Structure formats: C-alpha cells, structure tokens
Structure 1
Amino acid sequence: MVEKLTLSSLNLKMSTKSIIAEVNKKAAEFIADRRNSNNAIDVISFCQHGKTPVVLAAIEGLQNIFTTAISSAQLKRNLSNDDSSKLPPEEQYKIWLNGCYTDAKKQLLSMCSTGEPKIQLILIALLSHTRVNDELITLYRTYLEYADVLFNTMELVTSILNKETKKNDVFLHNVYHLIQDLTLPKTLKEDRSKSGKAFLTFKPENGEAKSCRADEHKKCFSTLYLTFLSQKLSASLYKKVLISIHDKIMPRMANPLLLADFLTESYNIGGAISLLALNGLFILINNYNLDYPDFYGKLYQLLEPSVFHVKYSARFFHLLNLFLSSTHLPGYLVAAFIKRLARLGLTAPPAALTIVVPFIYNLTRRHPSCSVLIHRAETTDGFASDPFIMTENDPSKCRALESSLWELQTLQSHYYYIVSIDSRQLEQVLPKLETDLSDILETSIDDLVKKENSKKYKLNSVPVTFDPPKGLFGAKDCPFNDMWSL
C-alpha cells in the first residue's frame, strides 16, 4: 500500500528544506509533463502549511504552474461545467485545470488577510526579482489613495527591504516604481475612514493589529525612503531618485534633514550624480539650516569641461544661477565663478557659449564688485600675464579678482556670430536689466543649426576663390585644357 501524501506526514518525516524541495519538484514536474497534472493539487495544499518558507515556495510554484498553463493555452476562463463528461478529453482537462486555478486563487486571496507580511501575495508578486512589473504596479497604485492600504503598503515594503537578501536591479526598480510620487493624507478627513478616527493597521513584525492616525504617514514614509536609499542603487535609478528628491520626497518627509547624509554623499561622488544632488542639498541649506560650509567650494569644482556635455547641463546652469543669486555672496567667490566660466568658454561648444557669455554678464551686473574684471580687460596680455589660477580648486585662492575677462575679448573672434556679438558687450556699458536665461538654457547645437537653416539669406554672389581660374584645374599647361573649356 502506498502511503498518501499529506501535510502532517510531511511535517513528521521531512525537514523544511526537504519540503520546499518537494514543492519545487512537483511544480517542475507539472510543467515538464502533463501526466503530472495532479501535482497542482498537492502544491495548492502546501499553501496551508504552518511554516512561512514552505508557503512562499508554494506561492512561487503556483505562479510557475499557472503562468505556464496560461501561456500554453491549457487554461481558459469562462468554460462551462455542464455535461463535462460528454466533452472531448482536452476540454475536460481544461475545465478541471480551471477549477484548480479557482481553488488556488481562493487559497491565495485568503492569505492576504492574515496580517503576516511575508505572505502578502500581492506585494511579493509585484516586487519581482526577474520581471519588471510597471503595468501591474501602476494598477496597484490606484488603491494607494486609501490611507490604510497606503500605510500598510509602506510598512510592508520597508519590512521586505530590510529582510530581502536578493536585492537586484529589477527588484529595486519595482520597489521604486511602487513608492515613487506617493500622496500622503493631510488631514484625518482624508483617512478614507467613515468615522474620521484612527484606522487599524498590522505590525510587520508579528501581524498584530495596531491603531494609526494620518499624521503617522510621514514617519512611515520617511522610514521607507531612508531604507530604500540605503540600498545599492543602479546609476540610472540613482539619477531618477535625485531628480525627484526635492519635490516628491523631501516635502513628504517627517524631517527632511534625514536626507542630509544621502545628499552630501551624492554631492561628493562627482559627475552627473553631483549635479543632480545640488537642488536637494541647497534646499536643506536654505530652508532647513543645514550646515554645509564647503557647499560653494564643491560647486566650484563641478565647473569642468564635461559640464557642457552632460545630459543635465541645462538643469545645472539653472541651479547655478539660483545659487549665485544672493547679493550677499563675497566678491572673490563670484569672481572665481566668472573667471572659471570664462576660461572654460574658450573650449566650449557654441551652444554652451550662448548661455555662458550672458551668464557671465548677469553675474557682473548682479555683483558690482566684480565689474573690475571688465574695466581691467585691456591691462593684461591675456593668458601669459593672467594671475588667475585655473587649477586651484579653492575659490578663495585662485586670485580671480586680480584678473580680467580677456577670454571674452578672445571670443569676439568666435566663428559663430552670435557668440561674437554677445562677447562685444565687454566694450559697452552693460544694461541694468539681466538677460533672461530661461529661453536659452535648453539650447543645443541642433537648435542652432535649425535656426540658421530657417533663415533666408539674400546673396548676390558668393566668393569661392581669390584668383580667377586659368583652366579647368588651374594650371595653364594642364592637358585637360585642350579637351575642356570654362
């Protein structure tokens, strides 16, 4: 007599690892051979196991079984059970498998209300390690308008991040897509609770119910994001977070200063990461009194030739203009930025120069103490006698205020006439109003080419050579002159 497989017999005779291996084996056998279809019933029964690792293995097994069945057209919905015995065997099998799918779905849905975070089916499925679930997560996010669903989701995702060991890029992408741009309730009336009082949530640690008010959402949100930001993020995901941190994360934090370590570390990395960390860090300094005395020194060091070629160049110059807008900044500091920009302009592409030159003049108008750089323009012999130290990373030691803007005199001979015209303002009285940079920050080389191509030039003649041609190829004794004539 063959002993019938039951959960109780497995508990007595097999270890947890052995049971998990048995679950995985049965799921694999089902997928490999249709003769093992009854294995689906056994895998469903494992969902009632008392140990969480076994339940998780059963959930994954059911996912593999029914994903395979659906993709191979073995599973079809809306099949009638009437007189199934009269149907062909293939149709009978589909009806039976559809019943198994219904039983599995009921079993899994019942687990969603257990309060145990490790077997919260929906989040486990959404935060996959192997598949990007953007569409499914977007659908799930529609339920996050309910305060209780939102709060439980944030707590459970935090718990998963703390306990999960396989945190690959796909998993972290799914997590970020789920938690990005969360909208927190502002008042008790936005709890979506009938009484307007606190609603019940579950503790991730033990599943016990606890009371929660709407003002606790910020604390939960803060914990969630601090946990997420402590993960090893890919470069692309890192940049996405930094782009949105000032308007989608910081305002929802219980204490935005908790982001100081993350932002300062990002600011010190260099390159595009540093550029994107600028905004959030400046907000902490300006609005939350973060003490960062070396902010402008680091900002000065970001002015490298590559700044004109990165994807976020326009964003950087917008922020740079904002950071240098205060009239209380010391003259030596602003002069250092002016000189470094002017020196970089000598090798910058024309699209960048259409921004840099007006930017320099704006800074000079804004800070009259720097006008000496313009008035001293004719007293130096350019690079040879320039006291400015380009290689000095400390703006207080680069001797910018002792220098002049001879670089703009050089740019007056630039091949692009717009740059040449802008640079000639050096010889004129600067207007009192600053140039509006908002319209030119996004200028690219393609924009300049399209602009020039759209113009209609009226030219009567175009000189193409200095000397009149003497023959087809220029030489008088060329043999082709006997065969061809101009």
Structure 2
Amino acid sequence: MATVSAKNKTKTKTKKKDRYGVAELKTLGNDLLSSASNINNLPLLLTFVSPSSPPHHVLESLLSLHSFFLPLLPTLPSSATRADDSTTDDQSQFIYLTWLRSKFDELVKSLVEILVAPQCDETLKEVVLDTLMEFVKVANAGQFHSAIYHKLLRSIVHSMDPVAFLVDLLTSKYFKYIDIRYYTFISLTKLATTLEGKDVTDGRSASTDSTDENQLSSNMEHVIHNMYYTISNVPPLESSNDTSNIEMWSRSESDGDAADKQPKPEKHNKNALSAAKIAKKMKLKFTKAWIGFLRLPLPLDLYKEVLVNLHQAVIPHLSNPIMLCDFLTRSYDIGGVVSVIALSSLYVLMTQYGLEYPNFYEKLYALLVPSIFMAKHRARFFQLLDSCLKSPLLPAYLAASFAKKLSRLLLSVPPSGALVITALIHNILRRHPSINCLVHREDSVDEGKDDLRKDEAIAANLDDAKTGAMPCQKLGIDHFNNEENNPKKSCAMRSSLWEIDTILHHYCPPASRQVLALSLGNDLTVRAKTSEVDVGDFSSGSYATILGAEISRRVKQVPLAFFKTTPSSLFSETDFAGWTFNLEETPELISGNDESATKGLSEHDHGGAVKRQRIECP
C-alpha cells in the first residue's frame, strides 16, 4: 500500500508540474521576490530543479531561487544549529530561518544531482556549477563555504559517468583562485581517507568471483580514476615573494572595504598572510592530498600513469619529497615496466633529496634484459641509466658488470638497441679508465697460471671431440656469468668485451657501419681527444627510424648480391663463429608406424626429413 501511495503522489506531482510553463514559472518567481507572503511558491519552484525536469524549466526556476536565496544566505543559521540555541523572543524568526535553511540545503542537493546527471545538457551543468560556486562564495557570511564545496567534489569523484567536462570547467574558471585549490586538496584528502578505510576486495586477487564484488571493485577503480583526474588538474602553488598574483574566490566585501579605508600592518592583520606562509600551507595540503591518493589501490594502468608524471608534477611541490620513498621503492622492486617507470622519480630523490637506497644498482642491473629495448619508456630509461653510471666514484667491478651485461645484450637486441648499447659502453669506458682492459683482454696474458692450465686442459679435450673446422684457432673461456643478478658475483672483471666485435659484422647496415663501434677499440682514456656521447640521440630508435634513415640516405654505389646457386637460408654458417650445423636424419619427426607415409615423405624430401642441430663451442 505504501508503494502504491508513493506512486500516486509522484503521478500527482507530475500532473501538477505539467500545468506550469516557462511563463507561469517566471510569474511564480516574480511573486516570490516581490513579497514574503508568497513564500509558498518556494517549495513549488524547488520541485522543478531536478534532473528529470526540462532544461528551460530548471533554468527559469533556478534564476528565481538564486535571486531569492543570495541576499538571505549570510543570515541563515547553520544546518547544525538547534532551536534551543535561540532566545524566546526571536523563536518564530529562528524557526522561519531554519525552514529556509532546510530549503536551501534541498536546493543544493538538487543542483548537485543535476551536475552529475548524464542526461543533463552541458550548458545547464555550467550554469548549475556557477550557481553552486556563487553559494560557496557567500553562504558562510562572506567566507568560503567548505561544506557545499565538499559535496560538489564528492559528487564529481563518486560519479559513474565521465567527469572530464566538470573538472575542465573547474580548471579553467576556478582553480586559479588559491582558496579553491586549498579546499580542493582538503576535500580530496578526506575522500581518499574514506576510500582507504573501505574494505574493497580487488577482483584480480579475490578468491571468489562474486558479481557484487566485481561490481564493487569496478566502481572503486572508476572513483580512483576520477580522483586522479581531479587532483592532477589542480595546479600547485609556485613559491613567490609577493602576494600580487594570488587571487581569492571568497572574501568578505566589508573586510575589503575596511582594509582599503584603514590599511593595517601585516603583523596586526590576522587575515593577511605572507607569500611564504601561503606557499607553506599550500604545500602541506598538496602533500597530504597526494600521499592519501597514493595509498589507494591504484589500477595498473593508472599506476603506470602516476609513476610517469610523478617526478615532474608532484615531487617538486611536496613539503617533504622523502615521504614518497616507500611508495617508490616498492614500485622499483616490482620489476619489469613498473620498475623502469619508477626509476625517474627514484633517481630524483637520490640525487636531489639525499635518499639512500643500498640495493639501487643491483635492481638497475636486473632490469637489463632484452625486453627493455622494446618498452614504451625505453628512451627515458636509457638516459637515466647513462646518468646513474656517470659518477667517477662508481666501483670498477660495478662499471665492468654493466659494460659486460650491455655487451652481452648486443647478441639478442634489435638493431636500434645495438646502437644505444654502443653509445652506453662508449661512455662507460671513457668515464672509468680502470675497465679499459676489458677491450683487448686475452686469457694467455691476463689470467693466472692456474686458470691458464685449466683453459689449456679444456681446450685439449675439446680439440679431441671436435673436428678441425672450428673458425677460431684458439679457444677461450668467458668467465662472465650472465645469469647472475648480483653484479658483484658476475665475474665481469675477468672477462672481455668480445661481443663488441659482433657489431662490426651486424646484418643491419646502420649498426655495422657506425663510427662508435670502431672507436671502442681506441684508447678512450685520453679524455682530451675523446668526448661523451649523448645517449638521447640513440635511445628512441626503432625499426621505423632505421628504415626511414636508410630510405632517405643517398648512396653513390649500390651493392648487389650475386649467388651462383639459390640460397637456402638467410644466414650462412660462416656468419656464426663457433657454431656448426650438421645434417642428421630424424625419422622420429614422423609420427606413427605408417610405412607408406614414411616412404612418401622420404621420396619427397630426397633423403628423409632433416633438421639442423647447433653445437655450442665454449
């Protein structure tokens, strides 16, 4: 029965609302503004301020209600004020003002609903936002009304519909005012604290695949995305020595007139703050808002986006950037692309704010894998890698480990990666003369007698097992352990950079003819005749850039390849020094015992199915 009664009331209200047009609403508003006896028009006008009403009805009603409430707002009691707090003489007046306050709160609630309603027009939303911000300006006796503004921001952050339009409006029209930015950071801090306290199960790690839990997790991620879009659009306050460029949205006009008539010294004026104090307060609120946001369970895509912008948009404006050390070290320990992105911010904390991270170079060494040369942010990573290896206080074993690890990657990375590796090794050898011995090292010269005997014994055993078709006349052993993630235990100082010679025989012409590869064989310790290479010129290379450079390159003579017989493979056996390829019959490749199928396959292949086996030469 209650449900039927509610439906009947809704239908009755709809029928009543249908009887009013724009002209009737304008008449109701004029009567309300002209005489207090028409106060009953106020609840009727409020019914038209809703997302379901036509936009022209909402606008006409809002114009009248805005004009009615604006002069009354400074005199309205607070929503938390009780009737017992007033005296007996003005009890009736207090009840009337309290009723007006409740209607004003109802208006604010309806305006917030319109603001985030997906069916409402953008023009209407802009008018509603301006009205709410006008209430924020004057509803608290000329001071900033933080409660209304918090409701506005909370509705934007918790909206399940796109909020880019609303946030962009705030950015273009209101975020230039310092008090709006100040209270924005306060509201976002409260919202982040509320979200952090919620027990929300992440759908990716939940043991049960409940529909409600997945929906809750999806809503949580959407709220976090909205919060990030809002907080990232609030400009931080730059440090300044004067307050001439600081604008306030909410300021009492009487206070401003009094200040103009009788200026007071800054130390006697409680409302006046120096630029340094304002910047300090803004930094504190900015820091609390971002720290609270970073504590939330960020989705992976948003997590990467935050790490990309953190070192430029956040760290310089924090009151104490070292507070991010836990967040960044956890991100750096994750590995993969996340570690690569976190390296920028972590490097800023280490070089500019004195952060000590003992395992930094071990984690950096572990990131040197072939996949890093195809990552999206590889250009920034290689530049940071070059900067991290620039210090002359770097131990020789550490510089040798990085040089050897990079040279080993020459065997497996794309041609663009070979270019940047050559540049990195060039800079390492020039900065650290103590490891230049790795360029031309030979076992018979640099190793001890015990190691030499072992090498000769191993070489003798291999000579008995192998044929005389080995391309190298003397066998050597590389002591470098490529599988070791600890650079201290990699034995790079006992190795040599023999992989560099492979770049001179690279199948890609831009990689094989680069001047840097030839210069690595020279004495790079003579700093007067050599110079460091800008890694940024090579770090963003790819197959597309190499192909584009080759197409636009002008050549006088075009080499032609002539084969007496049609080639059967892309690379010949002589291109792989230390490897042999033998042909062996492999009948096990043919499944089953069907002799006819085996015979047909053998006749077709003229001698049976074959495969190439590679035998590694130590």
Q: What TM-score comes out, normalization by structure 1 length?
A: 0.72
1:184-223 to 2 correspondence within 5 Å? 184-187=237-240, 189=243, 190-192=245-247, 199=271, 213-223=278-288
Separation in 1 of the partners of 2:554 and 2:184? 61
1:160-175 to 2 correspondence within 5 Å? 160-164=191-195, 168-175=220-227
CA contact (8 A) 1:377 1:406 kept: no
- Hey, what does 1:151 align to over in structure 2? 182
- Hey, what does 1:328 align to over in structure 2? 393
Letter in 2 for 1:359: L
CA contact (8 A) 2:443 2:476 kept: no
SS in 2 for 1:439: helix
- Hey, what does 1:376 align to over in structure 2? 441
How far 1:290 sits from its partner (Å)? 1.6
Between stretches 164-173 and 340-349, larger displacement belongs to 164-173
CA contact (8 A) 1:339 1:405 kept: yes
How far 1:126 sits from its partner (Å)? 3.1
Is 1:386 equivalent to 2:478 in the alignment? yes
| Deviation per residue, 1:48-67 (Å, 9 max, x gap) | 65999x99975565457x75
Separation in 1 of the partners of 2:147 and 2:441? 70
1:71-470 to 2 correspondence within 5 Å? 110=135, 113=139, 115=145, 117=147, 120-142=150-172, 143-164=174-195, 168-180=220-232, 182-187=235-240, 189=243, 190-192=245-247, 199=271, 213-376=278-441, 385-422=477-514, 423-430=517-524, 432-459=530-557, 462-466=560-564
Separation in 1 of the partners of 2:321 and 2:104? 40
Gaps of 5+ in 2: 19-43, 51-98, 199-215, 249-255, 260-265, 445-454, 456-471, 567-618
CA contact (8 A) 1:373 1:403 kept: yes
CA contact (8 A) 2:133 2:149 kept: no
Aligned length: 405
Letter in 2 for 1:417: P
Task: Say what the alpha-carbon RMSD is for the aligned residues.
Answer: 4.0
Separation in 1 of the partners of 2:129 and 2:392? 68
Between stretches 110-119 and 428-437, larger displacement belongs to 110-119
CA contact (8 A) 1:111 1:121 kept: no
Cα 1:102–1:429, aligned 2, differ >3 Å: closer, same or farther?
closer
SS in 2 for 1:387: coil
Cα 1:330–1:131, aligned 2, differ >3 Å: closer, same or farther?
same
Q: What TM-score comes out, normalization by structure 2 length?
A: 0.57
Letter in 2 for 1:291: E
The structure with the larger Rg is 2
Gaps of 5+ in 1: 1-13, 78-100, 202-211, 469-486
Separation in 1 of the partners of 2:547 and 2:129? 62
How far 1:138 sits from its partner (Å)? 2.2
Cα 1:150–1:283, aligned 2, differ >3 Å: closer, same or farther?
same
| Deviation per residue, 1:125-161 (Å, 9 max, x gap) | 4324312322331221232222111111111111122
CA contact (8 A) 2:136 2:148 kept: no
CA contact (8 A) 2:114 2:120 kept: no
Separation in 2 of the partners of 1:368 and 1:273? 33
Cα 1:26–1:400, aligned 2, differ >3 Å: closer, same or farther?
farther
Cα 1:69–1:440, aligned 2, differ >3 Å: closer, same or farther?
closer
1:30-49 to 2 correspondence within 5 Å? 35=15, 37=17, 41-42=46-47
Separation in 2 of the partners of 1:283 and 1:149? 30
CA contact (8 A) 2:49 2:107 kept: no
How far 1:433 sits from its partner (Å)? 1.3
